[in-house]
């Protein structure tokens, strides 16, 4: 049976590739580990690319098993659409695409251009991101396009833009980590979320370096740290201000650097003066002695880095949290110095490129602002349209989803499973059901695709060519190794076909991703994220090219800020920040903090990894991490079932008793759908600047499972 299935489903190696081992990159996270793919017994198999400098021959278990999905029996192989009885049934491509074009047009005629919306993804290649943004602005003429990166990178992006005038996640290559004397890791559990990155931390430790981790859990990453500050969830800004207070008090700041390379320090000094260590201990739960130790390690090191992850970013004050950590990096004179500085660890495969090229509501390619008249003129000229035709900024991701069924009547989702991954997901699911028309392009029938009127089967990573920008800002090339199964189209083909049906044939007549890339280079020229000097050939030759890459920097820019910042006067900006409480705090009825995140074996909403047997074996369902003292108090043993209840919804989970979590906190991973989707419980409070939802904190109640509960 197995072998018959394999024969039916076996992907066909692209004709020119038979017998070859093709260099490509992992379909999942922002490490974009280099891998080789080849055909063994007619099945695609991946192995690490030993010569790619970022992962240096290592892969995590998700990467090792990624090729299994290419010929997975549940893969979508033909378009689906609702029949008269409301059931999803196979239809032809012509029928599926025509239904989308017709319904979008009808809805826009009746309700206006902005009633049709697009939801994109940091999983898409730069070429797809670029065409999706162009499709929104000139095929549909809608302001409403946003993407899942809003749930991921938006707070870090906003903070970097404010402080440095530009947003490149890491302004240095990951290899620099090995040479930093001290590293402060804030709310990142890269031991589970980017295992191959840990080789640089191991080298750093072997070189005598120190690691300080700030996380409410003793995560796998914190377990190896020199110091672990197990802070109260949501208290990062107080903690950072407290550390800066001690640095100033103990004379460990770099006045010369502050004077020559930054501005606005005096206001910060005034505010952090009020963050007395004993008061910070009360807010954060971190002992004063530990705060002092961390400050002294950071302040006295020859080189120091501050790296942040989603723990401190996915909060309603995420931008402020990051600005307060950036203040430390600037005050100690680190940014732009060797083996030092501030960086965020970007999450999705193309989380970096995905936030630069126009699928964000307020943005045009090259990190241009859609509100900037000169940027509008430039892009209109590249696209051959009138600048007045381009819409203005639209709604951010959560606000867009929250407007479904009211202002927005039709939606196309490409690369996201919002029913599982959006906050307050029960509400978002009900909004999706209120739409007049939903189309989803995916590889599998995800929980979101299940609700669609039309589902389009998309090609996977190894079946199409395209560039991605990894967490270092290094642009890499995924080559095409296998043919998509018959009946499957690439996202680019889908967008071009729809563009044609919407009357914009000449503007969406691309023959290949490479042709898109040539237009895209022109589109980014002169922008902050300038890719104009990058070619597919240069990427292959240099093992990736760091943006900006243009006439002034023809080989790219591995390290930024060495001379100046991207602000108008070239100086970095301090921001005076006061700590604010999370949107929802524990109280007598909901006495615990609920925080959410990831486990090693699963990726995001789980559409892909929940279909790989080995990964399911590692984690078959989400477990709620609870401290032994709480389990004792509630009379619960390991593996017992509990209800978790928040102000939005309730769901049942098995518990995992572990001393690594704080007594006041429960942690649940978000990779599962249906009854076990933790996002049914999370709070959609948004950061006022980035519009990032507060995935990391809400108030929760634990109820023993025998008790029945209204959900």
Least separation in angstroms between CB 118 and ligand SF4: 26
Name which of 143 and 283 has its Cβ closer to ligand MGD: 283
**Total residues interacting with ligand MGD, rule: CB under 6 A:** 62
Q: Does the N-terminal peptide bond of residue 590 adopt cis geometry, omega within 30 degrees of 0? A: no
Name which of 277 and 347 has its Cβ closer to Mo ion: 347
Least separation in angstroms between CB 215 and ligand SF4: 19
Q: Which helix (H) or strand (E) holds 586?
A: none
Q: How many whole angstroms separate alpha carbon 478 and alpha carbon 483?
A: 14
Choose from ligand SF4, Mo ion, ligand MGD, none: what does 142 bind? Cβ within 5-8 Å by kind.
none
Question: Beta-carbon neighbour count of residue 457 at 10 Å?
Answer: 25
Q: How many whole angstroms separate alpha carbon 519 and alpha carbon 173?
A: 27
| CA-to-CA separations, 472 to 32, 72, 107, 318, 611, in angstroms, rounded | 10, 32, 41, 21, 30
Angle at CA 106, nearest 5°, toward 493 and 369? 60
Among 31, 91, 258, 319, which residue interacts with ligand SF4 (rule: CB under 6 A)? 31
Percentages helix, strand, coil for the chain (3-state, rounded to 5) are 35, 20, 45
Should residue 462 be labelled a site residue for ligand SF4 when binding is judged by CB under 6 A?
Answer: no
Structure tokens at 445: 């029938």
Should residue 196 be labelled a site residue for ligand MGD when binding is judged by CB under 6 A?
Answer: no
Choose from Mo ion, ligand MGD, ligand SF4, none: what does 26 bind? Cβ within 5-8 Å by kind.
ligand SF4
Least separation in angstroms between CB 273 and ligand SF4: 42
Should residue 32 be labelled a site residue for ligand SF4 when binding is judged by CB under 6 A?
Answer: yes
Residues in the chain: 711
Name which of 165 and 597 has its Cβ closer to Mo ion: 597
Should residue 201 be labelled a site residue for ligand SF4 when binding is judged by CB under 6 A?
Answer: no
**Which of 360, 370, 413, 412 lies closest to 391 in space, CA to CA?**
370
User: Would you say 383 and 389 are in contact if contact means Cβ atoms under 8 Å apart?
Assistant: no
Among 114, 215, 254, 465, which residue interacts with ligand MGD (rule: CB under 6 A)? 215
Instruction: Give 99-146 as a 3 state SS string.
Output: HHHHHHHHHHHHHCHHHEEEEECCCCCHHHHHHHHHHHHHHHCCCCEE
Name which of 161 and 348 has its Cβ closer to Mo ion: 348
Name which of 254 and 625 has its Cβ closer to ligand MGD: 625
Should residue 672 be labelled a site residue for ligand MGD when binding is judged by CB under 6 A?
Answer: no
**Which of 353, 633, 589 lies closest to 467 in space, CA to CA?**
353
User: Would you say 494 and 484 are in contact if contact means Cβ atoms under 8 Å apart?
Assistant: no
Should residue 244 be labelled a site residue for ligand SF4 when binding is judged by CB under 6 A?
Answer: no
SS3 519: helix
User: Would you say 412 and 118 are in contact if contact means Cβ atoms under 8 Å apart?
Assistant: yes
Among 161, 469, 470, 596, which residue interacts with ligand MGD (rule: CB under 6 A)? 596
Choose from Mo ion, ligand SF4, ligand MGD, none: what does 309 bind? Cβ within 5-8 Å by kind.
ligand MGD
SS3 350: coil
Among 66, 71, 142, 312, which residue interacts with ligand MGD (rule: CB under 6 A)? 312
According to DSSP, the residues that pair with 188 across neighbouring strands are: none
Should residue 32 be labelled a site residue for ligand MGD when binding is judged by CB under 6 A?
Answer: no
Least separation in angstroms between CB 422 and ligand MGD: 7
Should residue 598 be labelled a site residue for ligand MGD when binding is judged by CB under 6 A?
Answer: yes
User: Would you say 478 and 125 are in contact if contact means Cβ atoms under 8 Å apart?
Assistant: yes
Among 22, 23, 46, 60, which residue interacts with ligand SF4 (rule: CB under 6 A)? 60
Residues with Cβ within 8 Å of residue 606, at least 6 apart in sequence = 420, 671, 672, 673
Name which of 43 and 61 has its Cβ closer to ligand SF4: 61
- 301 to 330, contacts with ligand SF4 by CB under 6 A? none
Q: Which helix (H) or strand (E) holds 97?
A: helix 93-111
Name which of 55 and 262 has its Cβ closer to ligand SF4: 55
Q: How many whole angstroms separate alpha carbon 140 and alpha carbon 411?
A: 11
- Residue bearing tokens 């995905």: 354
Among 133, 195, 394, 473, which residue interacts with ligand SF4 (rule: CB under 6 A)? 195
Binding site for ligand SF4 (CB under 6 A): 26, 28-29, 31-33, 55, 59-60, 62-63, 194-196
Binding site for ligand MGD (CB under 6 A): 29, 121-124, 148, 151-152, 186-190, 192-194, 214-217, 219, 233-234, 236, 309-312, 314, 347-348, 414-417, 420-421, 441-444, 446, 458, 491, 595-598, 600, 602-605, 607-608, 667, 670, 678-679, 682, 695-696
């Amino acid at each position: 049976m197995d072998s018959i299935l394999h024969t039916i489903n076996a992907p066909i190696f692209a004709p020119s590739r038979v017998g070859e081992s093709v260099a490509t990159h992992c379909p999942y996270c922002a490490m974009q580990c280099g891998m080789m793919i080849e055909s063994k017994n007619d099945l695609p198999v991946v192995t690490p690319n030993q010569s790619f400098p970022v992962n240096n021959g290592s892969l995590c278990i998700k990467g090792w098993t990624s090729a299994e999905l290419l010929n997975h029996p549940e893969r979508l192989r033909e378009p689906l659409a609702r029949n008269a009885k409301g059931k999803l049934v196979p239809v032809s491509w012509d029928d599926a695409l025509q239904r989308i074009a017709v319904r979008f047009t009808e809805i826009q005629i009746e309700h206006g251009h902005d009633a049709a919306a697009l939801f994109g993804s940091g999983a898409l290649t730069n070429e797809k991101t670029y065409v999706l943004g162009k499709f929104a602005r000139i095929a549909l003429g809608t302001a409403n396009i946003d993407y899942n990166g809003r749930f991921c990178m938006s707070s870090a992006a906003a903070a970097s833009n404010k402080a440095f005038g530009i947003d490149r996640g890491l302004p240095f290559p990951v290899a620099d980590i090995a040479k930093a004397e001290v590293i402060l890791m804030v709310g990142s559990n890269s031991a589970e979320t980017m295992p191959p990155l840990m080789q640089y931390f191991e080298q750093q430790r072997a070189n005598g370096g120190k690691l300080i981790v700030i996380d409410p859990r003793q995560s796998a990453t914190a377990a190896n740290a020199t110091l672990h500050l197990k802070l109260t969830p949501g208290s990062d800004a107080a903690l950072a201000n407290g550390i800066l207070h001690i640095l100033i008090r103990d004379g460990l700041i770099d006045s010369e650097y502050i004077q020559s390379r930054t501005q606005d320090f005096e206001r910060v000094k005034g505010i952090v003066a009020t963050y007395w260590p004993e008061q910070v201990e009360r807010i954060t739960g971190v002992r004063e002695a530990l705060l002092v130790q961390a400050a002294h390690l950071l302040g006295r090191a020859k080189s120091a880095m501050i790296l942040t992850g989603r723990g401190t970013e996915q909060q309603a004050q995420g931008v402020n949290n990051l600005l307060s950590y950036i203040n430390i990096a600037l005050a100690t004179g680190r940014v732009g110095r060797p083996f030092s500085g501030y960086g965020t660890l970007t999450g999705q495969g193309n989380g970096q490129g995905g936030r630069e090229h126009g699928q964000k509501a307020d943005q045009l390619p090259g990190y241009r602002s859609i509100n900037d008249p000169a940027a509008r003129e430039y892009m209109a000229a590249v696209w051959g349209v009138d600048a007045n035709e381009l819409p203005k900024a639209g709604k951010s991701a959560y606000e867009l989803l929250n407007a479904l069924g009211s202002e927005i009547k039709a939606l196309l989702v490409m690369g996201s499973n919002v029913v599982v991954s959006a906050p307050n997901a029960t509400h978002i699911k009900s909004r999706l059901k209120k739409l007049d028309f939903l189309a989803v392009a995916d590889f599998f029938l995800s929980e979101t695709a299940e609700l669609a009127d039309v589902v389009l089967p998309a090609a996977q990573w190894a079946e199409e060519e395209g560039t991605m920008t990894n967490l270092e800002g290094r642009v890499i090339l995924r080559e095409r190794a296998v043919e998509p199964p018959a009946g499957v189209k690439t996202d680019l083909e889908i967008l071009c076909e729809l563009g044609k049906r919407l009357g914009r044939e000449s503007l969406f007549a691309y023959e290949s991703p490479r042709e898109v890339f040539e237009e895209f280079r022109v589109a980014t020229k002169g922008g902050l994220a300038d890719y104009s000097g990058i070619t597919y050939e240069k990427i292959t030759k240099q093992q990736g090219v760091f943006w900006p890459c243009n006439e002034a920097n023809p080989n790219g820019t591995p390290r930024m800020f060495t001379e100046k910042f991207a602000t108008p006067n070239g100086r970095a900006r301090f921001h005076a920040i006061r700590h604010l409480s999370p949107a929802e705090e524990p109280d007598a009825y909901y006495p615990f903090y609920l925080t959410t995140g990831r486990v090693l074996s699963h990726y995001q909403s789980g559409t892909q990894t929940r279909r790989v047997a080995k990964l399911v074996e590692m984690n078959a369902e989400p477990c709620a991490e609870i401290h032994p003292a709480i389990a004792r108090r509630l009379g619960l043993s390991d593996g017992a079932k509990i209800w978790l209840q928040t102000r939005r919804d309730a769901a049942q989970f098995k518990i995992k008793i572990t001393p690594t979590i704080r007594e006041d906190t429960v942690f649940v991973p978000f990779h599962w759908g249906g009854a076990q989707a933790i996002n049914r419980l999370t709070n959609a409070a948004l950061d006022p600047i980035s519009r990032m939802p507060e995935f990391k904190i809400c108030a929760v109640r634990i109820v023993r499972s025998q008790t029945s509960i209204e959900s």
